[in-house]
Amino acid sequence: MFDNDDKPWLEGLNPEQLRAVSSDARSLLVVAGAGTGKTKTLAARVARLIDDGVPPGRILLLTFTRRAAREMIRRAERMVAAGGTAIWGGTFHAVGHRLIRSFASRASTLGDFTIMDQADSADLIGLVRSELRLESTARRMPQKATLTSIYSAAVNAAEPLEELVPRRFPWCEADVASMSEIFRGYVARKRRHNLLDYDDLLLYWRALLDGHSGDAMRDMFDHILVDEYQDTNALQADILLGMRSSTDRLMVVGDDAQSIYSFRSADVRNILDFPDQHPGCEIVTLESNYRSVQPILDCSNGVIAQAKERHTKELRAVRSGTTRPSLLTCMDEAEQSQEVCRLVLEHLESGVALHDQAVLFRTGHHSALLEVELSRRNIPFVKFGGLRFVEAAHVKDVVCMLRILENPHDELAWFRTLQLLEGVGAASARRLMSELGVRVMGEPGPDDDPLGRFIAGEVKVPKQAMAEVGTLRLAFAECRRAADVASQLEGLTGFYEGPLERLYDSPLARRRDLEELAGLAAGYESRSSFLVDMVTDPPAATGELAGPPLLDEDYLILSTIHSAKGAEWDVVHLIHAADGMIPSDMATGDAQEIEEELRLLYVALTRARDYLYVYFPLRYHHRRMGLDDSHSYAQLSRFFAAPVLESFERRWTTAARLPEPDTVAGATASVDAFLSSLWP
DNA sequence: TAGTCCGAGTTTTTT
DNA sequence: ACTCGGACTA
C-alpha cells in the first residue's frame, strides 16, 4: 500500500506509531511510555506533513528544551527534503518570546523589552523588598530566591497566594501579606522598565491571543505538536487552547508516569484531561519499548507499580537481553565514587564509549565527590543540570555589560556593572545611574544616551574608582565600534580582569568560563540574539573540558535526573539510592510529593539500554573530607521494596559487608537525626 | 558610604 | 555550607 522508497519516514514504524504519524484527527493524544519511540514518531510525523505539502513554516513544534526541538527537526529533515521556511521549534518560552517580539512591538504596546532570567527576577524582588523596608517588622522575610519561586508558582498555577503558600510553602505562611505587597511592587517595576520575566513570556502570549493579534497568531500554523505534555502547566494548556483555529491539527505526546516538574506547576491533569478539553480527540498508546532489555523493564515496571495514581501501562521489551540490573551496596560515598569509576572504565574497555554511559543523581551537588574522583583519574566528563553556567556570578557580570550595550536603560544591568568598580557600592551606583539618565524607557529624558555620557566621562566618580572607570569607559567605547559580539566580549573581559581578581576566588576557573562564553558568542551574528538565547536557551552543560578543541574527545555524562529526561544511554549508573536522597528529604512532605519522587526514580531507571547499576552508600560522613570519622548509617531508598529488589542482582563491596545487619536496620532514626540537624 | 565581621536562618529539581 | 542583613569601622 505504501512505497517505502518514496516515503522514508515510514521506515520501521510499528502499527501504533504509524497511526500516530498518519492520523488526521483534529486533536491527537499519544500516550508514549519510556523508550517507545516517541521522538522517532514525532520526527516522522513532521516529515510526513512536509511530504504532504505543509509548508515547514506553518508547523509549530513545542518541546521541553531547545535541544529536543533541534534533534527532532534534524531527524525530520533527514527523512524529507525540507525547503523553504524553517519549522517553528522550541520551548513554550522561546516561541512565546518570538511571537511577542513580532506582535507586541508591531502593536507598540510593549516596545523594546529585555528578558530577565530567574536570578534577575530575584534581584529585582530583593530590590523591591529592601525599598519597602519590610525587614524592620518583627519577622524576617524569606530569601529573595524563595520569594521568586512563590511568585512564579502562583502565576503558573493561577493560584492565589492565600491558597498556594500554606500548601506548598508552609514555612512562609505568616508572610503572605508582605509578599503581596512586594509582588505588586515587582510587577509595577517590571512594567515601568519594560522588563519581562520567564512567566511574562507565557502571560503576554496568552494575553495577545485574547486581543487583536489573536486571529493573526492563530492563522500562522496548520499543525501544532507538543512534546512532554505531562510536564506542561495550566497556563501552557490555556495557551494551546487559545492557539487553536478552526482548521488546525494539534498533537500532544506524553507519559503521565514521567511527570516530574510539579515544582514548576506542571500538572498531570493536563494530559489526563486532554480528551475532555479537546472533544473528538484520538488516542494512541505506545507500549513497545525499543530501548531497554527486559530485566531493566521488569525493575522499572516494579517501581512504577507502587504509584497510586496512574494510567496502567506495562512496557514490553522489543530487544533481547538477559543481564539483570545491579544494586551495589558500598561502604560510603567515597567507595561509591571508586566503584562508579571502576565500572565506567570496565565498560569503556569492553567497547562502550564514555558518552554512551551516564551517571544520574537527584540533585546537582550529589555528584561533587564523584567529580573530584573523575578529575583525579583524568576521566573527562560533562555535567548537565545543577548550577547553570550562565547563573555563575562572573558570567552574569560580563553578560550584564553586554546588556547595557544592547539597552542603555537596563537598570539591573547598570546596577550590577557599576558595583563591579572598586569603591562603588549600591549607593554610588544609584547616584551614578540617575546622573547618567538611566530611566524608564519610552519616557522623554534630558539625554537619550546614558552610555554615551558614561563613555564621555560626564559623571563624578569616587576617587578610588577612577582607574577602573577609565578602563571600563575605553572598553565600552571600543565595543561601540566593534561589529560583532565576540570582539565586544573580548574588550569587556579585558576590563573585567581587575574586578574578577578582586571580587572572587579561583579566578582561573572563572577565566576559563569566560573563554567558554566567548566561544559561544562567536557563533552569533547579532548581540541581541546572543543575549536572548542566553536567557531562553542557555547552554545546558558545564564541564571540566578545557575548551572547544577537547569537545571531540570522548567524555562521560553526569546529569541530574531532571536533565536526563528524554535521553538514553547504554550504561546508566544511578548514585545515592538512599532514603533522604531519593526521595529527597526536601520532598517528603505529602503523598503527592513522594509520588513524584517515585516517578523521578522511574525516569532514571528507564534511561538505561543494556546495563543499569544502582549504588547505595551505607554511611554518610557528617563533614565531608573532615578529619574526624563521625558518620551515620543510611537506609536504602523506600522505593526499593521487596518485589523490586527481586529484579536486582545484589552485590556488596567487601568493606560494606562489615557492619552487622541490625546496625543497618536501625539506621533510619540516625539518618533522620543527622538530616534534621542540618536545618534545625 | 564601602567593605568587613557576625549571627541567624536556610528546602531540590528548570524555563 | 551557604546567603542575607545589620552593626561597625575606616
Query: Which residues face A332 on adjacent strands?
Result: A619
Chain A 63-122, CB < 7 Å to strand C = 122
- Give the residue among A583, A362, A292 at the shortest CA–CA distance from A301: A292
Mean residue pLDDT across chain A: 85
Torsion angles phi and psi, residue A665, rounded to 5:
-60, -35
pLDDT band, residue A623 (cuts 50/70/90): low
Instruction: Return the H-helix or E-strand segment holding A94.
Output: helix A92-106
pLDDT score, position A626: 41
State mean pLDDT over A567-587.
91
Higher local confidence (pLDDT), A672 or A229: A229
Kindly tell me if the per-residue pLDDT of A368 is higher than 50.
yes
For A285-320, give the DSSP string.
EE-EESSS-HHHHHHHHHHHTT-SS------EESS-
Other beta carbons within 10 angstroms of residue A494's beta carbon come to 14
Cα separation, A34 vs A314, whole angstroms: 10
pLDDT band, residue A444 (cuts 50/70/90): low
Nucleotides of C under 7 A from a protein CB: 1, 3-6
pLDDT score, position A111: 65
pLDDT in tens, A294-348: 999 999 999 999 988 766 678 889 998 889 999 999 988 889 999 999 999 999 9
Residue nearest to nucleotide B11 (CA to C1'): A586
Q: How far is the CA of A346 from the C1' of B11 (A)?
A: 38
Higher local confidence (pLDDT), A680 or A203: A203
- Of all nucleotides in the shown strands, which has a C1' nearest the CA of A564? B13
pLDDT score, position A624: 44
Residue with cell 569607559: A473
Q: How far apart are the first and last CA of chain A?
A: 69
pLDDT score, position A543: 54
Cα separation, A430 vs A323, whole angstroms: 64
For A343-368, give the DSSP string.
HHHHHHHTT--GGGEEEEESSGGGGH
A368 touches strand C (CB under 7 A): no
pLDDT band, residue A549 (cuts 50/70/90): very low
Torsion angles phi and psi, residue A676, rounded to 5:
-75, -20
Single-letter amino acid, residue A671: V
Burial of A602 (0-12, 13-18, 19+ CB in 10 A): buried
Cα R_g (chain A), whole angstroms:
27
For residue A99 the three cell numbers come to 511571537
Tell me the whole-structure pTM to 2 decimals.
0.88
pLDDT score, position A139: 63
Cα separation, A542 vs A501, whole angstroms: 22
State mean pLDDT over A258-277.
89
Kindly tell me if the per-residue pLDDT of A249 is higher than 80.
yes
In order of A96, A155, A333, A584, A609, the CA distances from A266 in angstroms are 17, 12, 33, 19, 28
Cis peptide before A583 (omega within 30 of 0): yes
Provide the CB-side half-sphere exposure for A608 (13 A, CA).
Answer: 28
Q: How far is the CA of A296 from the C1' of C2 (A)?
A: 39
pLDDT score, position A546: 36
For A593-654, give the DSSP string.
HHHHHHHHHHHHHTTEEEEEEEEEEEEEESSTT-SS--EEE--B-TT--HHHHTTSEEEE-T
- Cβ atoms of A227 and A64 within 8 Å: the answer is yes
- Beta carbons within 8 Å of A524's beta carbon, 6+ residues apart: A484, A485, A486, A530, A533
- Give the residue among A230, A392, A399, A239 at the shortest CA–CA distance from A311: A230
Residue with cell 567515597: A334
Q: How far is the CA of A561 from the C1' of B8 (A)?
A: 33
State mean pLDDT over A492-502.
85
Strands across the sheet containing A249-254: A88-90, A59-62, A223-226, A249-254, A27-32, A282-286
Q: How far is the CA of A424 from the C1' of B4 (A)?
A: 15
- Give the residue among A333, A327, A339 at the shortest CA–CA distance from A368: A333
Q: What percent of chain A has pLDDT over 70?
A: 90
Torsion angles phi and psi, residue A329, rounded to 5:
-90, 125
Sign for the pseudo-dihedral over CA of A365, A369, A370, A373: positive
Report the relative pairing of strands A114-115 and A88-90 from DSSP bridges: unpaired
Q: How far is the CA of A671 from the C1' of B9 (A)?
A: 22
A313 touches strand B (CB under 7 A): no
pLDDT band, residue A625 (cuts 50/70/90): very low
pLDDT in tens, A208-234: 999 888 999 999 999 999 999 999 999
Nucleotides of B under 7 A from a protein CB: 1-3, 9-15
Cα separation, A86 vs A537, whole angstroms: 18
Cα separation, A268 vs A4, whole angstroms: 37
pLDDT score, position A198: 93
pLDDT score, position A307: 86
Q: How far is the CA of A636 from the C1' of B2 (A)?
A: 51
| Helix A333-349 and helix A368-376, axial crossing angle in degrees, nearest 10 | 50
For residue A472 the three cell numbers come to 571600563
- Of all nucleotides in the shown strands, which has a C1' nearest the CA of A678? B10
Kindly tell me if the per-residue pLDDT of A482 is higher than 50.
yes
- Beta carbons within 8 Å of A659's beta carbon, 6+ residues apart: A618, A633
Kindly tell me if the per-residue pLDDT of A658 is higher than 90.
no
A623 touches strand C (CB under 7 A): yes
| CA max distance for chain A | 83
- Beta carbons within 8 Å of A512's beta carbon, 6+ residues apart: A546, A547
Q: What is the DSSP letter of A109?
A: S
Helix (H, G, I), strand (E, B) or coil at A588: coil
Instruction: Return the H-helix or E-strand segment holding A189.
Output: helix A176-192
For residue A245 the three cell numbers come to 483555529
A675 touches strand C (CB under 7 A): no
pLDDT band, residue A639 (cuts 50/70/90): very high
Highest mean pLDDT among A233-237, A581-585, A653-657: A233-237
**Summary count for chain A: helices (H), strands (E):** 27, 19
pLDDT score, position A468: 86
Q: How far is the CA of A472 from the C1' of C7 (A)?
A: 33
Instruction: Return the H-helix or E-strand segment holding A223.
Output: strand A223-226
- CA A573, chain centre distance (Å): 21
A562 touches strand B (CB under 7 A): yes
- Beta carbons within 8 Å of A457's beta carbon, 6+ residues apart: A469, A473
Cα separation, A430 vs A417, whole angstroms: 12
Kindly tell me if the per-residue pLDDT of A378 is higher than 70.
yes
Q: What is the DSSP letter of A137?
A: S
The three-state DSSP-derived secondary structure of A493-561 is HHHHHHHHHHHCCCHHHHHHHHHHHHHHHCCCCCHHHHHHHHHHCCCCEEECCCCHHHHHCCCEEEEEC
